[in-house]
């Protein structure tokens, strides 16, 4: 019997992980895109809608819906960029930090379970391999300048 393709194994892991993460954050009133948005904001407060969409892996239209929900819940605040009326910056609130902390506790447990069979060196090797694979595919989709 032949080994499954790596793309199949990665896809399977992605589907299982997404399902478990979605269930974990739903228990705290968030969708997976909303949770991802809060984690991105925690690392990079003040991003625009377009920047948030790119970093959260959703379309700008979907990000507008996510942000409307997060603002309504009091998890983020939005303010116009001084001097650039069309640019609106989004920031994590204290309530957003609290819900993110609760979700992160659940996500930490999922990651512990997922990585339980791996040693520390294997985990770091895995992390670096995934990072490099992602970058290779991202670079492949970036248009090359004409020579």
Q: What is the pLDDT of residues 40-59, one digit of tens each?
A: 999 987 777 888 888 888 99
What mean pLDDT, rounded, does the chain reach?
90
Spell out where the chain has E strands: 76-81, 84-92
- Within 10 A of 53 (CB to CB), how many other CB atoms are there? 22
- Within 10 A of 38 (CB to CB), how many other CB atoms are there? 25
Q: What is the pLDDT of residues 14-50, one digit of tens each?
A: 999 999 999 999 999 999 999 999 999 999 877 778 8
What is the average per-residue pLDDT within 62-72?
Answer: 93
Tell me, what's the pLDDT at 90? 85
Q: How many residues does the chain have?
A: 147
- More confident site: 80 or 11: 11
What is the average per-residue pLDDT within 62-81?
Answer: 90
Distance between CA 89 and CA 52 in Å, rounded?
Answer: 10
Tell me, what's the pLDDT at 102? 96
Assigned architecture for domain 6-117 = Orthogonal Bundle (1.10)
Q: What are phi and psi of 21, to 5 degrees?
A: -65, -45
Domain boundaries, the chain: 6-117
């Amino acid at each position: 019997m032949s080994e499954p393709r790596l793309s199949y194994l990665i896809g399977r892991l992605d589907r299982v992980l997404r399902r478990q993460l979605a269930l974990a954050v739903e228990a705290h009133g968030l969708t997976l895109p909303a949770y991802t948005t809060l984690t991105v904001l925690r690392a990079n407060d003040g991003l625009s809608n377009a920047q948030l969409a790119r970093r959260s892996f959703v379309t700008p239209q979907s990000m507008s819906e996510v942000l409307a929900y997060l603002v309504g819940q009091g998890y983020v605040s939005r303010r116009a960029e001084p001097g650039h009326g069309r640019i609106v910056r989004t920031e994590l609130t204290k309530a957003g930090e609290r819900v993110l902390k609760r979700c992160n506790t659940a996500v930490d447990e999922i990651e512990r379970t997922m990585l339980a069979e791996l040693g520390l060196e294997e985990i770091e090797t895995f992390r670096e391999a995934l990072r490099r694979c992602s970058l290779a595919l991202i670079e492949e989709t970036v248009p090359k300048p004409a020579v």
